[in-house]
Amino acid sequence: MCRADAVGWTPLAAVFPGQGAQTVAMGAVWRGHPAWALAERAEDVLRRSLRPLLLDERRAPQGTAETQLAVFLTSMMAWKALRAEAVTPAVLAGHSLGQISALAAAGVLGFDDAVRLVERRGQVTDEVCASEPGGMVAALSRDTGLDAERAAAACEAAPGECWTANDNAPGQVVYSGTTRGLDRTVERARELGARRFHRLNVAGPFHTPLMAPAAGRLTAFARSLAFAAPDRPVILNADARPAGPGTPWPETLGEHLVRPVRWRATQELLGRYGTAALVEVGPGTTLAGLARRTVPHLRILSAGCPATAARAAACLRRPTAPPQPNTGRTSDR
């Protein structure tokens, strides 16, 4: 097992990606693998075919509802493959949608209920996206002196229309809001020192007050599900702290849609659990890239397909120097 006291294993943190990691035929690498049984189980739960989302070579998943379900399922298949290699991460976290993947991996939600929750999350957020057009833009400003506070100040150019949705890494924040609000905020951020901007492949103003209608509907739905205590620490996006005993999960999951993702602080905290490595479990390598900027002292790995899951496990079996203690405080930004 991959715990601090397990001889021959590197202590490990696992992180799960969110929306934006989708690609064409993203589930094809799992067809024929034992983990593909999760896709078949999800079809039984939802009583419809999911193969078009996972195997269609003509287009990537379309819309928020399709995308969230496809990313979640491929992340869970990657998790199953990694666990089959006897890898047991000591601490988990997930970025935005990935937080649900982390909760499923930690046993907070059973797989069937997690599938139902992700489907409902996609539906209610799609409804907001249709009625409140907007999006998200990453502002990149490394080495320009534009810190998270000054980046957030750019939103003052569009009060009530744009917010800082993610503090992802040193030199990267993500704005979220209406189309007009994003245009005004990007202009102001450029004046403050941001050098590059990247519009994310999402259709709405996630992690802002504009998602309040979806948050309420998701909370109501989540009250019909069964929740358990996590079997290992799970760091939550909203406060970059581990979920505590008695966490009100339906309310927490609803509020997650309107609160910012404190991913930089989350990564910093992951590094304080005695971990020496971090693995991104699921499609893409976005979180691995952010980790290299935020916690470069950790060994950074990816497990997005059967081959990379096996390689990550082999790498973790090789000994590494113990992680250096980090006594700094978690950022409140």
Place of tokens 């020192």: 193
Structure tokens at 311: 């390689």
Active site residue 207: yes
The catalytic position among 75, 96, 141, 176 is 96
Taking each helix axis from N to C end, the angle separating 37-46 and 111-131, rounded to the nearest 10 degrees, works out to: 70
Yes or no: say if 104 and 281 are a contact pair by the CB < 8 Å rule.
no
The catalytic position among 101, 207, 256, 302 is 207
Backbone torsions φ then ψ of 151, nearest 5 degrees: -65, -40
Give CA–CA dist 68/205, Å, rounded.
15
Active site residue 131: no
Active site residues: 96, 207
